[in-house]
Amino acid sequence: MKSGLIKKEGAEEAGEIDLTPMLDVVFILLIFFIVTSVFVTEAGIEVNRPEASTVDPTSGDLILIAIGPAGDIWIDGDQIDPRFVRARFELRLADAPNSALVIQADRNANNEHVLLILEAARAANIADVSIAAEA
């Protein structure tokens, strides 16, 4: 009788499947997809862009900056002080040196704020600067 019990235990152990290697592969694939995914960057607020007759789409590494109707400045979802715009540009350029700047100014925003952004971009040596518009 003892030999019959031993065979039953051995039969159950032979039927088990070790899932540890499969879970390792799943986690490695998950990490791979997270690291290689492209994250959508947004300036932080939705603005009413002015209309323009010529609009060209822009791609690549973009620094998006939004200027609200009250003159508030947003980069990467954070409202920032106008004095620190250049420093924020330099931080972003350290990560991606050939980034282009896209200014999303509200149609009711003051031109003074747009000029402040343009001066900060020139001081940070950003060569490609665009102003977003509706077609």
pLDDT tens-digit profile of 11-34?
Answer: 556 677 888 888 999 999 999 888
pLDDT tens-digit profile of 43-81?
Answer: 666 666 666 666 566 666 788 888 988 889 988 788 889
Instruction: Confirm whether 45 is domain-assigned.
Output: no
Q: Does one domain contain both 115 and 80? A: yes
Q: Does one domain contain both 31 and 83? A: no
Instruction: Confirm whether 117 is domain-assigned.
Output: yes
| Burial of 117 (C-beta count, 10 Å sphere; 0-12/13-18/19+) | buried
| d(C-alpha 9, C-alpha 70), whole Å | 76
Q: Does one domain contain both 73 and 122? A: yes
Instruction: Confirm whether 18 is domain-assigned.
Output: yes
Q: What range defines the domain where residue 6 resides?
A: 2-36
Q: Does one domain contain both 70 and 112? A: yes
Q: Does one domain contain both 71 and 109? A: yes
Q: Is the pTM of this model over 0.95?
A: no
Q: Does one domain contain both 24 and 70? A: no
Q: Does one domain contain both 26 and 82? A: no
More confident residue, 4 or 77: 77
Instruction: Confirm whether 75 is domain-assigned.
Output: yes
Write the CATH number for 107: 3.30.420.270
The total domain count for the chain is 2
pLDDT tens-digit profile of 31-41?
Answer: 988 887 766 56
